[in-house]
Chain A
């Protein structure tokens, strides 16, 4: 069965360290997204991609970067982790077409920055 997987599922790091969260999907979807979820907030979009070599900034992109070298993967990098980036991160994918709002989510990566 097709799926979307994230790793690591749990990560504790220190302020200033670089962290990369992996996301791999086997749906063959063109669209991939990274969100963060914090208590009291809706899902907030960090970065997204509509295909290979395409990346776009979301509403909370400061301090994060992504790259899309193939269809399956969209790794999220925190260049210099800050305590404000402690959160649960979800990767998601959807079929081709920007109007497609049916997202398939990974199980999430819980990041703690000390």
Chain B
């Protein structure tokens, strides 16, 4: 079957760095996506990886290893506004997104 695993909840301190991991098993693979979702709001697109390696976008970076079925989202210089859920999604061979349940990130002062 198809499956996405990510931690349910993480806690980090303002100003620090946090890494949110995601492992995936899909029928075929057409890319790995990360979305941010603040409580009570809609998900918003953060990043897309289809090739191995690190993609950097400001304070956020996303890494992919296709051979390991593994990705992570790295958030630097954490701010209180980064408190949100982070959703990992893999696109399968039918171009359907398979979603993880999300990681709730709590930022403490």
Residues of A at under 8 Å CB distance from B? Answer: 40-45, 58, 90, 98-99, 101-108
A99 touches B42 (CB 8 A): no
Contact among B44, B87, B91 with A42 in the assembled complex (CB-CB below 8 Å)? B87
- B70 an interface residue at 8 Å Cβ cutoff? no
Can you name the residue of chain A whose Cβ is closest to the Cβ of B42? Answer: A105
Bound-complex Cα distance A96 to B12 (A) = 38
Contact present for B98 and A102 (CB under 8 Å): no
List B29-62 residues whose CB lies under 8 Å from chain A.
30-31, 33, 35, 41-45, 48
Q: From DSSP, what is the main secondary structure of chain A's interface residues? A: loop
A43 touches B95 (CB 8 A): no
Cβ contacts B13-42/A at 8 Å (1 or 0 each): 000000000000000001101010000011
State the total of A-B contacts with C-beta under 8 angstroms.
50
Q: B80-109 interface mask toward A, CB cutoff 8 Å, 1 = contact, 0 = none? A: 000000010101000111111110000000
Chain B residues positioned under 8 Å from A108 (CB to CB): 41-42
- Does B75 sit at the interface, judged by CB under 8 A? no
Complex Cα distance, B43 from A104, in Å, reads: 8
A42, A43, A45, A101: the one within 8 Å of B48 (CB): A101
B101 and A42 form a contact (CB under 8 A): yes
Interface contact A101-B44, CB-CB below 8 Å: no
Name B6's closest neighbour in chain A (CB-CB).
A42
A106 in contact with B31 (CB, 8 Å) = no
In whole Å, how far is A98's beta carbon from the nearest beta carbon of chain B?
A: 4
Across the interface, do A102 and B48 meet the contact criterion of CB distance under 8 Å?
yes
Residues of B within 8 A of A107 (CB): 41-42
Question: Separation in Å of the B62 CB from the closest CB of chain A?
Answer: 13
Q: A42-B98, A45-B96, A101-B30 are in contact. List 19 more A-B contacts (CB 8 A).
A: A41-B101, A42-B87, A42-B99, A42-B100, A42-B101, A43-B43, A43-B97, A43-B99, A90-B43, A99-B30, A99-B91, A101-B31, A101-B33, A101-B95, A102-B33, A103-B45, A104-B45, A106-B42, A107-B41
